[in-house]
Chains A and B, each alone.
Chain A
Amino acid sequence: MKRNENREGIKGMANPGRYGIERFAYWLMRLTGLGLLAFFVGHIYETSKILNGKTAWENMLASTSTTEGHVFLTLVIGMCVYHTANGIRLMLGHSGYGVGKPARPDYPYTPASQNNMHKLCIYASIGLAALAMMYGISVLFGE
C-alpha cells in the first residue's frame, strides 16, 4: 500500500460527519476561523476607505449597508460568538479542566475527555451563536 493512499487531505478535513458532535465542533471551529479571518482582512480594507475622504467612506457604507451586507454581518456575528465560546471550551479542555480523571482503559473504551459536559458546551456554543445572530438581526434590520 502506498504511503499516501489513505490520506484524504482537504476532502477529509471538509467532512464534518462520521465522528459525532466533537468532529462537527472541530469542523465548525476551523470554518468559522477562516471566515472570520477573511472578514477581518476585508474589514481592514473597507475601513481604510476613510483615508480617501467623506465621499469614499459614504460610498463604501452604501455598498455594504444592503440586505445582503446585513445578512453577511449577521453570519459574522454568529461565527464570532461560536468561535469564542467553543474556543474557551477548548482552552479549558487543553488546560485539563472537564476532561475527567486518568483511569485504566476498560471496554468499551469510552474516552473520558469526550464527556457529556463537553457535548453540552458545544450545543451551548451553537445556541449562543444563534441568540447573538438574532440580536444582530434586531439591530441591523430593526430600524
Chain B
Amino acid sequence: MRESTIMKIHYGTALGAVVLVAVHVLFRVTMMNYEDSLAYENVLANYKFLPYAIMLELILVLISVHGFNGLRVILLELKQGRTYEKAVTYGCIAAMAGLIAYGSRTILITSMGIT
C-alpha cells in the first residue's frame, strides 16, 4: 500500500478515535459519579447496551490501527533496510490483529452475557 494512503488511514482513524473516545469518557463522568460508573453491574450494563458495545469495538479497531501504525512509523524513522522494514510492518500488523482479537473477545463475550 502507498505510504500516502497509509497516512490518510492514520489521520482518519485519529479523527474517528477522538470523537468516539470523547463519548466513551463522557459516559464515565456525566452519566453518574466516576467511581459508580466503574461498578461491576454498571460496566456490565454498558457492554450489554448494543450501541455502546459497537462503539467500544470501533474504538478498539481505530486505536489499534492508529497506534500500531504510529509505532511502525517511529521504528522506521530509527532504522531503514528492506528486511528490517518488512519485519517492523508485519510485526505491527500481527500485534494489531492480536490486540483486536483479544479486545473483541472481551466485548463479544460480555455483551452476549456469557460471563
A131-143 interface bits toward B, Cβ cutoff 8 Å, 1 = contact, 0 = none = 0000000011001
Is A9 within 8 A of B67, CB to CB? no
Give the bracket for the number of chain B residues in contact with chain A: 20 to 34
Is A48 within 8 A of B102, CB to CB? yes
8 Å CB interface, B54-94 against A: 60, 63-64, 67-68, 70-71, 74, 77-79
Bound complex: CA A54 to CA B39 (Å): 9
Q: Is B97 an interface residue (CB 8 A)?
A: no
Is A50 within 8 A of B106, CB to CB? yes
Is B18 within 8 A of A51, CB to CB? no
Which residue in B11, B35, B106 is a CB contact (below 8 Å) of A47? B106
Interface of A is mostly: helix
Give the bracket for the number of chain A residues in contact with chain B: 20 to 34
Is A37 within 8 A of B67, CB to CB? yes
Bound complex: CA A90 to CA B74 (Å): 16
Binding site for A on B (CB under 8 A): 7, 11, 14-15, 18, 21, 29, 33-35, 38, 40, 43-44, 47, 60, 63-64, 67-68, 70-71, 74, 77-79, 99, 102-103, 105-106, 109-110, 115
A-B contact pairs, 14 of them (CB 8 A): A9-B78, A9-B79, A13-B74, A13-B77, A33-B71, A34-B74, A40-B64, A50-B44, A50-B106, A50-B115, A84-B14, A91-B14, A143-B33, A143-B35
Binding site for B on A (CB under 8 A): 9-10, 13, 30, 33-34, 36-37, 40-41, 44-45, 47-48, 50-51, 53-54, 57-58, 61, 65, 80, 84, 87, 91, 94, 139-140, 143
